[in-house]
């Protein structure tokens, strides 16, 4: 019997060894993923990442986990975040190994498991992410005078970690001990890059004063200014530009800080960068200028502002010159087998009519149509002359093609119809013409989005009006379960929201993840949209799959005016998430003191504990939010309370300033041993 057990154990050991040795998929991620994340097109990022993650690409698994954890492109779902983080960790990603260790330690998305936490954190340390299992996830050197007894490598890791956290005292101490301010982690982040990304202004100033290289880049091609802009750290951007950071620096896709800021619709950042003499007319690798990107994202006022400041208007430019075209070439497109040399010929597979439509050569198109060119011929992907003209915004050519009998409902493998392209290109008169020609008004794209959903997402009121007048379904959902109203609300397009409501759009359509238009508007901080939705009786009690209410998500994001509007509408400030966090706790952990000032007077219990036993004070202290800690202490938050690991706020404080503050301002009230 003993021998049998031994055999089984040996077999299990062998199987585990084979699993450990299996190589994870490491196919390179498409360039579009980082670009989508950088310009906050998280829906697109999720679409690109998911199939790669399902194939076992550990980088995709790690990024997808992060999007689920932060609620970007998908609704917040900590269980899904833990699922993908664990997969990436098992595939050998050190970042994921550290993150899943922390998640096991905190019981975030997975049941709390100290043993698993220690194992994963130890594995991460072995692979270069230093956070030893016995430190509770704190950086190396945190309890060792910031690094006096550490090796140089560990001191550098500590400097990187404290710069990321914003612990100014520890950063100064390590620099005084001679740690290189330009040390790097595995992703080539310097302390300055990490501090700039997180908006730790004083740490940024200190590092620059100690010789940090303002031009250093990480392995993704980003420098401190690019990341500070991408994370909308306004004050930090100001510090960096005043210290002569290259204001026209570019990422690997050619985006400048101004292009990134414009894509986010951030007026403050745009002003800051213009003041620093940013070039208004630089374009990225795909030809997008700041003004053009702002317009395409629905930030039309910002686009107009950039033009007023000297940017070129974001017009659709026609290509004036193309390959020589034979007027006798009126044959249908060649078969797919003839597309093998597409890299040599960008027009391979297209008839001359298609090519002329794409290039905007109006006279050539007219001549070809007169000679009997096949107007409805298609290439192997389903493109027709009409769809190509619509995609390029060629209005006159579209009219000529329709007059010649072009099919208005060309179907493509990607699902975009000429009507979708015309709507996207902001051509209301062409949309009307296509509808009159019989185009299907609610023809969905591959993701289920109709032209109305696309126009609402872009904030194009003129197109929305035309489509609604033509009978578009205001309540149709795409594959994500979202309506046009949901996208308009999420993007803050108030006129479009009003138009859709006038068309009897249902105000409380709930997505599969539990999000309503009100929830999405609250998350993005669009107070005026939130207000009008509340006036239309939108339910402020709705919760997403993570149990997050509109009030909670607004508090988490720091949207003070939105929180105020929801409280005025009698939203309950004491509804906790599935993890037990109240809106106050979410505001505290993120340091949103203005939101906290609104919530503290109306909550039932300032000392409410979440499922791990953490109060708002404990969470704020652990996150290094000194101002939030002060506010909670001033509001009589109790310092003696312990979480389920028997730890108090003082013990969990992320830096000495907060630890001393709690110790000096504590309200133990004579309790024995703090019990």
541: burial class by Cβ within 10 Å (0-12, 13-18, 19+)? exposed
Could you tell me what percent of the chain has a pLDDT over 70?
A: 83
| All residues at 6 or more sequence positions from 463 whose CB lies less than 8 Å from its CB, including other chains | 423, 426, 428, 431, 451, 455
* pTM of the predicted model over 0.85: no
Q: What is the pLDDT of residues 224-282, one digit of tens each?
A: 999 999 888 888 999 999 999 999 999 888 899 999 999 888 888 998 899 999 999 99
Distance, in Å, from the CA atom of 108 to the CA atom of 85, rounded to the nearest integer, reads 12
Q: Which residue has the higher pLDDT, 69 or 223?
A: 223
The answer to whether residues 621 and 652 touch, using CB atoms and an 8 Å cutoff, is: yes
Of the candidates 618, 610, 611, 660, the residue with the CA atom closest to the CA atom of residue 638: 618
**pLDDT at res. 339:** 38
What is the C-alpha to C-alpha distance for residues 20 and 167, in angstroms, rounded to an integer?
A: 37
Per residue in 400-426, pLDDT (tens digit) is 998 988 888 875 555 678 888 888 888
Which residue, among 376, 385, 455, 442, has the nearest Cα to 415 in the 3D structure? Answer: 442
Structure confidence at residue 68 as a pLDDT band (50, 70, 90): confident
pLDDT at 46: 85
CA quadruple 296, 301, 307, 312: dihedral, nearest 10: 10
**In this structure, what token pair is assigned to residue 126?**
């072995």
* Both structure tokens of 527: 């107070």
CA distance 203 to 237: 13
Specify the pLDDT at position 322: 37
pLDDT of 99 reads 85
Neighbours of 443 (CB within 10 A): 18
pLDDT at 18 exceeding the cut of 70: no
In angstroms, rounded to a whole number, what is the distance separating the alpha carbons of residues 179 and 207?
Answer: 11
Rounded-to-integer distance, Cα 460 and Cα 416, Å: 18
In the structure, what pLDDT confidence band is assigned to residue 345 with cuts at 50, 70 and 90?
low
Name 478's Cβ contacts closer than 8 Å, sequence gap at least 6.
444, 447, 448, 449, 450, 453
Q: How far apart are CA 283 and CA 296, in angstroms?
A: 14
Please give the pLDDT value at position 53.
Answer: 86
- Say if residue 316's pLDDT is above 60: no
* CB distance 436 to 402 below 8 Å: no
Q: What is the mean pLDDT of residues 360-377?
A: 88
Helix axes 461-469, 451-458, angle to 10 degrees: 150
**501-552 pLDDT per residue, tens:** 999 999 999 998 899 999 999 998 999 999 999 999 999 999 998 899 999 9
Answer whether residue 133 shows pLDDT above 50.
no
Look at residue 123 in the predicted model and tell me its pLDDT. 80
Determine the Cα–Cα distance for residues 214 and 258; give it in Å rounded to an integer.
18
- Residues 34-46: what's their mean pLDDT? 67
> Three-state secondary structure along 137-206?
CCCCCCCCCCCCCCCHHHHHHHHHHHHHHCCHHHHHHHHHCCCCCCCCCCCCCCHHHHHHHHCCHHHHHH
pLDDT score of 134:
36
Measure the N-to-C terminal CA separation of the chain; round to a whole number of Å. 52
Burial class, 322, CB count within 10 angstroms (exposed 0-12 / middle 13-18 / buried 19+): middle
Least confident piece of the model among 68-72, 311-315, 458-462, 490-494: 68-72
Q: Is 69 exposed, middle or buried (0-12, 13-18, 19+ CB in 10 A)?
A: buried
Percent of the chain with pLDDT over 90: 42
SS3 235: helix
What pLDDT sits at residue 506?
Answer: 96
Residue 422 is predicted with a pLDDT of 86
Top-ranked range on mean pLDDT: pick from 31-45, 59-73, 553-567? 553-567
CA distances from 425 to 347, 403, 468, 492, 562 (A): 22, 20, 17, 20, 32
- Residues 258/270, Cβ–Cβ less than 8 Å: yes
Q: Give the three-state DSSP class for 478.
A: coil
Rg (CA), the chain: 28
Which structure tokens are listed for 204? 């940024």
DSSP H or E segment with residue 307: helix 300-308
Closest CA to 666 of 648, 644, 647, 646: 648
> What is the band of 77 on the pLDDT scale with cuts at 50, 70, 90?
confident
Rounded Cα gap, residues 261 and 181, in angstroms = 28
**Sequence-ordered list of residues with C-beta below 8 angstroms from that of 364, at least 6 positions apart, any chain:** 325, 327, 352, 356
Give the model's confidence band at 75: pLDDT under 50 very low, under 70 low, under 90 confident, else very high. Answer: confident
Phi-psi region of 624 (alpha: psi -120 to 50; beta: other; left: phi over 0): left
Rounded Cα gap, residues 425 and 390, in angstroms: 8
The residue that leads in pLDDT, 439 or 72, is 439
Compute the mean pLDDT over every residue in the chain, rounded to the nearest whole number: 82
Collapsing DSSP states into helix, strand and coil, what is residue 217? strand
19 has a pLDDT exceeding 70: no
| Nearest to 285, CA basis, from 252, 253, 251, 247 | 253
Three-class SS state of 116: helix
Q: What is the pLDDT of residue 488?
A: 94
Per the structure block, which two tokens stand in for 442?
């609610």
Q: How far apart are CA 501 and CA 483, in angstroms?
A: 12
pLDDT of residue 54: 85
Q: Residue 587 — very low, low, confident or very high, per pLDDT cuts 50/70/90?
A: very high
Averaged over 604-629, what is the pLDDT?
A: 94
Task: Summarize the confidence of residues 358-384 as an average pLDDT.
Answer: 85
Does residue 621 have a pLDDT over 80? yes
pLDDT band at 149 (very low <50, low <70, confident <90, very high): very low
CA nearest 261: which of 272, 269, 253? 269
Helix, strand, coil percentages, rounded to 5, for the chain: 50, 0, 45
Q: Which residues pair with 400 in a beta bridge?
A: none
Domains of the chain: 24-128 (1.25.40.10), 152-308 (1.25.40.20), 316-440 (1.25.40.20), 449-572 (1.25.40.20), 577-675 (1.25.40.20)
Cα–Cα distances in angstroms (integers) from residue 304 to residues 285, 290, 298, 314, 508, in the given order = 22, 11, 11, 9, 33
Is the model's pLDDT at 196 over the cut of 60?
yes
Between 17 and 495, name the one with better pLDDT: 495
- Residue 403: closest CA among 426, 436, 445: 436
Cβ(409)–Cβ(387) below 8 Å:
no
């Amino acid at each position: 019997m003993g021998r049998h057990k031994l055999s089984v154990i040996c077999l299990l050991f062998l199987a585990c060894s084979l699993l450990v040795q299996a190589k994870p998929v490491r196919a390179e991620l498409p360039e579009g993923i980082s670009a989508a994340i950088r310009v906050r097109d998280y829906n697109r990022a999720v679409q690109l990442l998911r199939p790669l993650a399902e194939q076992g690409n550990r980088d995709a698994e790690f990024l997808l986990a992060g999007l689920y954890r932060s609620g970007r492109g998908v609704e917040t779902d900590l269980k899904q975040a833990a699922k993908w983080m664990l997969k990436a960790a098992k595939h050998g990603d050190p970042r994921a190994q550290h993150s899943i260790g922390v998640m096991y330690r905190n019981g975030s998305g997975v049941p709390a498991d100290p043993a698993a936490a220690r194992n994963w954190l130890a594995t991460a340390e072995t692979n270069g992410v230093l956070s030893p299992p016995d430190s509770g996830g704190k950086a190396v050197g945190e309890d060792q005078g910031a690094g006096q007894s550490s090796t140089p490598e560990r001191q550098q890791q500590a400097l990187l970690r404290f710069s990321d956290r914003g612990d100014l005292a520890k950063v100064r101490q390590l620099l005084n001990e001679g740690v290189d301010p330009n040390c790097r982690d595995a992703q080539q982040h310097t302390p300055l890059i990490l501090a700039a990304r997180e908006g730790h202004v004083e740490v940024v100033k200190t590092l620059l004063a100690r010789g940090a290289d303002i031009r250093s880049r990480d392995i993704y091609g980003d420098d401190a200014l690019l990341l500070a802009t991408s994370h909308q750290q306004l004050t930090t951007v100001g510090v960096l530009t005043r210290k002569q950071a290259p204001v026209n620096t570019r990422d690997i896709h050619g985006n400048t800080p101004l292009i990134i800021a414009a894509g986010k619709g951030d007026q403050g950042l745009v002003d800051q960068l213009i003041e620093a003499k940013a070039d208004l007319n630089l374009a990225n690798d795909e030809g997008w200028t700041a003004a053009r990107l702002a317009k395409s994202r629905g930030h039309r006022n910002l686009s107009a502002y950039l033009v007023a400041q000297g940017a070129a208007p974001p017009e659709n430019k026609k290509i004036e010159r193309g390959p020589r075209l034979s007027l006798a070439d009126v044959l249908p497109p060649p078969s797919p087998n003839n597309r093998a040399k597409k890299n040599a010929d960008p027009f391979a597979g297209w008839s001359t009519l298609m090519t002329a439509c794409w290039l905007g050569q109006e006279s050539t198109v007219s001549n070809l149509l007169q000679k009997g060119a096949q107007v409805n011929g298609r290439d192997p992907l389903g493109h027709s002359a009409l769809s190509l003209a619509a995609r390029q915004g060629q209005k006159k050519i579209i009219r000529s093609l329709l007059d010649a009998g072009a099919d208005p409902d060309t179907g493509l493998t990607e699902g975009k119809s000429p009507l979708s392209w015309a709507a996207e290109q902001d051509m209301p008169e062409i949309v009307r013409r296509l509808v009159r020609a019989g185009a299907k008004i609610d023809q969905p794209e591959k993701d289920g989005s109709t032209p109305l959903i696309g126009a609402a997402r872009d904030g194009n009121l003129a197109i929305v009006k035309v489509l609604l007048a033509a009978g578009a379904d205001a309540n149709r959902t795409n594959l994500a379960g979202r309506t046009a109203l949901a996208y308009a609300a999420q993007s803050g397009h108030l006129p479009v929201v009003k138009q859709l409501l006038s068309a009897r759009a249902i105000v409380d359509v709930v997505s599969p993840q539990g999000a309503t238009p009100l929830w999405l508007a609250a998350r993005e901080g669009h107070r005026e949209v939130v207000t009008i939705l509340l006036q239309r009786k939108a339910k402020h009690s709705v919760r997403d799959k993570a149990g997050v209410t509109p009030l909670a998500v607004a508090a988490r994001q720091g949207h003070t005016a939105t929180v105020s509007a929801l409280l005025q509408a009698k939203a309950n400030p004491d509804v906790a998430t599935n993890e037990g966090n109240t809106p106050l706790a979410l505001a505290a952990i993120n340091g949103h003191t203005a939101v906290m000032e609104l919530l503290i007077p109306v909550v039932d219990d300032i000392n409410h504990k979440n499922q791990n036993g953490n109060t708002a004070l404990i969470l704020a202290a652990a996150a290094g939010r000194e101002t939030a800690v002060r506010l909670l202490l001033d509001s009589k938050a109790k310092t003696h309370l312990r979480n389920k690991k028997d730890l108090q706020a003082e013990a969990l404080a992320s830096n000495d300033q907060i630890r001393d503050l709690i110790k000096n301002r504590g309200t133990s009230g004579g309790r024995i041993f703090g019990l």
